[in-house]
Amino acid sequence: MSVIQNIETIKTRMRDAWNAGDYGKFATYMEPGAGEILKGWHIPQGLSLLDVACGTGQISILASKAGINVTGVDIASNSIEVARGRAGREGLDAKFDEGDAESLPYADGSFDTVATLVGAMFAPQPEKVAREFVRVCKPGGRMLMVNWTPEGFVGQMFKTLVRYVPPPSDVPSPLLWGNEEVVKERFGHSVSHIILTKKIYPLWDYPFDVPEVVQFFFDNYGPMNKAINALDEEGGKSLRADLERVFSEFNIAENGTTTLFSEYLEVDAIKKQ
């Protein structure tokens, strides 16, 4: 199989994974934290924002409500449909397109700000993602990323998943986007300024216990939904037990609820003029 054919196969599988489950329902519990992150970015009203790998709009919808001119793009068609529906119901003019983070369907220098919330990090060709961020951002514009770190909760969750369902051997780990030196290398000389800060994802709370949260992930989070359905009964039980240990390790709540303590790397970069 040629490299191009292999990448297309990988992307098809990735698209299928993100179309699995119900990301809109899953994102409900992440949206309060997304709102806090958006506030911290201080994006002025009237500026144009491209939300790459926007999912069902957890950043896009909130940004549009705040008076930002929003375009969201995602590889998963069902997420885009949900995001468009949400915008329509709330009377927002946010635009949502189906598209690939490695080949964005926009002209050079189209946006004041290009951002992603734990989305673009999963594209299989990260160097292309970095080039596309730079390409569609205006000179002097801002590029923002929230990327899970290898050491944090989501990093450990994915390390557990890949022991059961190994990813393609020729695709870099998405978690490398959580490494400061790798991020600097990927953006290289295209940025005039870059700030990299490790933070904890705010307000990731569930009003139920760890086993129920793990089941919620299996039901609604595409990669975990695909993983559990790829295993036989014994493998599924083993994966569930291992994930419950990981979730418990990073749960800082008590009294039968779950609050996930998950580290991410925030990237805040300025494109060269």
Domain that holds residue 192: 3-203+262-271
Tell me what pLDDT residue 1 has.
Answer: 43
Angstrom distance (rounded) from CA 206 to CA 163: 26
Average pLDDT, the chain: 95
Tell me what pLDDT residue 14 has.
Answer: 85
On whether residue 96 sits in a domain, the answer given is yes
- In this prediction, residues 110-119 reach a mean pLDDT of 98
On whether residue 234 sits in a domain, the answer given is no
On whether residue 228 sits in a domain, the answer given is no
Question: Tens of pLDDT along 223-271?
Answer: 999 999 999 999 999 999 999 999 999 999 989 999 999 999 999 999 9
- Sheet with 95-98, side-by-side order of all strands: 95-98, 69-74, 48-52, 111-117, 137-148, 263-271, 191-200
Confidence band (pLDDT; 50, 70, 90) for 2? very low
The CA distances from residue 227 to 17, 57, 75, 257, in Å, are 9, 24, 19, 25
Report the CATH number at residue 151. 3.40.50.150
On whether residue 215 sits in a domain, the answer given is no
Confidence band (pLDDT; 50, 70, 90) for 35? very high
Has residue 5 got a pLDDT over 70?
no
On whether residue 218 sits in a domain, the answer given is no
- In this prediction, residues 170-193 reach a mean pLDDT of 97
On whether residue 247 sits in a domain, the answer given is no
**Percent of the chain scoring above 90 in pLDDT:** 90
Question: Tens of pLDDT along 44-89?
Answer: 999 999 999 999 999 999 999 999 999 999 999 999 999 999 999 9
Tell me what pLDDT residue 169 has.
Answer: 83
On whether residue 251 sits in a domain, the answer given is no
Residues in a beta bridge with 142: 113, 270
On whether residue 121 sits in a domain, the answer given is yes
Confidence band (pLDDT; 50, 70, 90) for 7? confident
Total structural domains in the chain? 1
- In this prediction, residues 183-198 reach a mean pLDDT of 98
